[in-house]
Amino acid sequence: MVKSKNTLYICFVESYLRKIVKRKEEKELSTTTEEKIKIAARLVFHKKGYSATRTRDIAEEAGINLALLNYYFRSKEKLFDIIMFETIFDFMQNMARVLNDEKSSLEKKVELIASNYIDLITKEPNIPIFMLSEIRNNAEGLLEKLPLKQSLMNSAFFKQHQKAVADGKIIEPNPLHFLMNLLGLTIFPFIGKPLLQGIRGLNDKQFNNMMQERKKLIPVWIKAMMKAK
């Protein structure tokens, strides 16, 4: 009788453990599939944009069937909104970390932003066009979701810039000009890459080498543009 009870208990425990393992595996599978879809969507949306992308394109890129994609993400619009927000948030978050670093100087912030974004866009060259398109189409919506104004106005960068202006080291009092110059010098070459390559007959490796050179050149140019006479 005791043996029978022990047997039943063991069976119960084994059954319970199997259920736990199964639930864990199902959860892991769900997370893996969802992440796989998002990775595929990011690649396709960045390359083609919203209008030219079909959900079937994303499913094929993810290596799954269309029904499974629709199970996890009910519509192309919903999936696109997620990818768009994450892309721009990650891009801005990268800059926010640099701008809010109390320990680094204004000059060091210029170096870090130029270097970080050149490396990022070299790896993901479709990001600038994707972002420009979405910023143009939904600037108000993005400003509501991303606290860009507060992040800039309260940043260590803003305080350092204002101090440099007060000390007579920088002649331009508007910090937006500073940022526009910096981001323009860093990002525009990637936007104009096909034209620039055509003008000079550059292949991708040669173009990327030029962008690596700009990591050192951009801080020099920014310093020359912004300093007081």
Residues 107 and 132 in one domain: yes
Residue 139, pLDDT > 90, answer no
When comparing pLDDT for 9 and 57, which is higher?
57
Query: pTM higher than 0.85 for the full model?
Result: no
The single-letter DSSP state of residue 103 is S
Q: Which two tokens stand for residue 115?
A: 């270097």
Which tokens sit at 156?
């260590």
pLDDT band of 1, cuts 50, 70, 90 = very low
Containing H/E element for 166?
helix 156-166
**In the chain, how many domains are there?**
2
52, 87: one domain = no
Q: What is the pLDDT of residue 121?
A: 92
Question: Are 69 and 79 contained in the same domain?
Answer: no
| Rounded CA separation 49/129 (Å) | 9
| Domain CATH code at residue 105 | 1.10.357.10
- The residues facing 227 across adjacent strands are 170
Residue range 128-154: average pLDDT?
73
Of the listed ranges 37-41, 64-68, 94-98, 182-186, the least confidently predicted one is: 94-98
Whole-number Cα distances in Å, 132 to 34, 109, 162: 27, 23, 28
Distance CA 124, CA 45 (A): 12
**Confidence bin at 219 (pLDDT 50/70/90):** very high
On whether both 66 and 117 belong to a single domain, the answer is no
Closest C-alpha among 174, 153, 161 to residue 110: 161
Residues 39 and 50 in one domain: yes
Q: Show which of 10, 42, 74 is a domain's final residue.
A: 74
d(CA 33, CA 65) in angstroms, rounded, equals: 11
CA distance 122 to 103: 28
Q: Do 191 and 132 meet the contact criterion of CB atoms below 8 Å apart? A: yes
Residue 8's domain comprises: 1-74
* Nearest Cα to Cα of residue 44 among 66, 59, 64: 59
Beta bridge partners of 170: 227
Same domain? For 83 and 17 the reply is no
